[in-house]
Chain A
Amino acid sequence: MPHLEYMNACHTAMVLKVVVLFTECYSLDILKIRLWHPQAIIAVHTTCLSETIGDDLTSIIQDISIPEGKYMIHTNTPSYKGSHVTGFSNMVASFISYLSVKSGKKNGKVAIIPGFTNPGDMREMKKIATAMGVKYTMLPDTSAVMDSPMTGKFEMYPKGGTTVEEIIELGDSELTLALGKAASESGAETLEKKCKVPYKVLPLPIGIANTDEYIMALQSYSKQEIPYMIEEERGQLVDILIDIHQYTYNKKVAIFGDPDTVLGLAEFVLEMGMIPKYLVTGTPGDAFGAAANELFNKFGVTDCKAKAAGDLFELHQWIKEEGVDLLIGGTHGKYIARAEDIPFVRAGFPYGQTR
């Protein structure tokens, strides 16, 4: 489901003297007056300019007088380090390291870190957890925020999302499920270090086996029977895969996007009997290639390539050298799909309009 949603972000240089491009600027102190109400929290992340200059966010935030009951957190997101997934992952960890507190009394909840996924995915993960009878806090949770309904009334702060209180209480969770190693492990690790909450890193629940893993992780915590609703949906998926295998079997696919998403989709297409010929992510790191090769071996496919810190130009070159039957990825794949006349399935981020 494509989302065209509104999210406000403010931009400022941190301190007056570092302004290079503008003669005047707002400092965070000025900003807070304009922005505090009615928000309970301001999350600050940096740009490469302030990183290069070396702004010390921790001390800047300490110098700011934060009103009672309000919070300000930060994370460093230099654009020359890692990718947007790195920044996302760090921000999740920052929420936890700034806010989560262990009260000493467990709250009977599972902390679910859903990874760099869209609100529809999060709704599905929550639906499954609820069906399994598991109480949880999801962080982050963009559902009912980034997919809010058209009501005729604009809401700057829609109903959904994770509340500050819930993030604080994460310290009392029984278990963390970190979905997607690249995006979610560091948050889970931070919660473990700070509040001694044990964690499991799982793949994103994309495809049958990965979703099974999520369900079974929830079950090993809940000790409950798995409801028929989940078995029915699962069985319907397997039935479809068998009914369509003659169209998917041995078809070659190129998949690009964020690492956890690409790995999930790759396993799913393998389950469909397809061959994930090329897997590309822009996010650097060796873990991606290693996980991809493990998948290739598990399904016994050969002549497949995986690359981290890659880009669409390179993927396009690979496709020109040896073509594929299908392209799967975010909206920018449309140029390759058009140029090479191959069908294109949009999945992952960004999920834009078809034009």
Chain B
Amino acid sequence: MLEEKYGVPWVKVNFIGVQGTIESLRSIAEYFNDPELTERTEAVIADELDLIQEDMDYYKSKLKGKTAAIYAGGSRSHHYQVLLKDLGMSTLMAGYEFAHRDDYEGREVIPNIKLDADSKNIESITVEPDPEKYHLYLGEEDYKKLVEDKKLDYYGGMVKEMEDGTFMIDDLNHFETEEFLKIYKPDIFFSGIKDKFVAQKSGILSRQIHSYDYSGPYAGFRGAVNFARDISMGIYTPAWGYVKAPWKNKPILDGVIGGE
């Protein structure tokens, strides 16, 4: 709507995860196409990477190969996968409660979306270019090129982030959540307060990511380190090793075989 009325195009950005943040900064610089800004952007990226590299390498060594499941909203289920990948972790399952097909599959599916009752929940508003304030930053050629390259006015959806053999589940209910955790046993489950203690009582670490739970922030370069620190402390908390009492695995009676 901003674009139609004022001529301001949009870029899908993500500041969760090191790689996500780098790509977002670069795509912003690319849009403005100003050599000084581009140079400054690269300098910031190099500076910040330098600050966090040692910590990220350390946490990656602890978290590599661990698995996660995410059930959150507002792009988090997608964006946190980027951050988990930075740490060598994989996402077994991700889903949203309220997302639409384009959030999952990308904007290319919009023409094929059939209207249903749900589509009418939000009033459709049509806007016209504002005669005084409509303004294009880019020339038509540059704009078209960026759109064609899917750098502008485009979101590819979550599915492109996910590995084969993982699950993308819409509107997961509590029963499904519990069953999923039971069967696939991820090392960590990201969700909200409703699910957190269901997961934790069943022995699976859970962190809220609707809020920052106990810590944060997790965005940007240094936020990635906060995130890595938080989940590594959760996963490596020794108390997990004591959930099952040792006598549960040991017969009460001991003795020798005899009587021959």
Q: Is the CB of A246 within 8 A of B215?
A: yes
Across-interface contacts of A49 in B (CB, < 8 A): none
Q: Is the CB of A246 within 8 A of B230?
A: yes
Q: Is the CB of A223 within 8 A of B239?
A: no
Q: Is the CB of A270 within 8 A of B238?
A: yes
Is residue A64 within 8 Å, beta carbon to beta carbon, of the partner chain?
Answer: no
Q: In which size bucket is the chain B interface?
A: 20 to 34
Residue of B201, B234, B246, B247 contacting most chain A CB atoms (<10 Å)? B247
Q: Which residue of A lies closest to B215 (CB)?
A: A246
Q: Is the CB of B252 within 8 A of A273?
A: no
Q: Which residue of B lies closest to A245 (CB)?
A: B237
Q: How many contacts between A and B, using CB within 8 angstroms?
A: 58
Q: Which residue of B lies closest to A207 (CB)?
A: B242
- Closest beta carbon of chain B to A214's beta carbon, Å: 12
Q: Which residue of B lies closest to A240 (CB)?
A: B239
Residue of A215, A216, A242, A299 contacting most chain B CB atoms (<10 Å)? A242
Q: Is the CB of B239 within 8 A of A299?
A: no
8 A Cβ contacts from A303-338 to B: none
> What is the bound-complex CA distance between A95 and B231, given in angstroms?
53
8 A Cβ contacts from B210-242 to A: 213-215, 230, 233-234, 236-240, 242
Across-interface contacts of B233 in A (CB, < 8 A): 245-246, 249-250, 273
Q: Which residue of A lies closest to B201 (CB)?
A: A239
The answer, among B239, B243, B247, for a CB contact under 8 Å with A272, is B239
Given A249-B233, A250-B233: A299 and B245 within 8 A (CB)?
A: no
Q: Which residue of B lies closest to A241 (CB)?
A: B239
**Contact code string A209-224 (vs B, CB < 8 Å = 1, else 0):** 1001001100110011
Given contacts A225-B252, A238-B239, 4 further A-B contacts (CB under 8 A): A216-B250, A226-B247, A246-B233, A273-B233
Which 3 A-B residue pairings sit nearest by Cβ, starting from the closest? A241-B239, A245-B237, A249-B233
Q: List residues of A whose CB falls within 8 A of some B CB.
A: 208-209, 212, 215-216, 219-220, 223-226, 231, 234, 238-239, 241-242, 245-246, 249-250, 270-273, 299
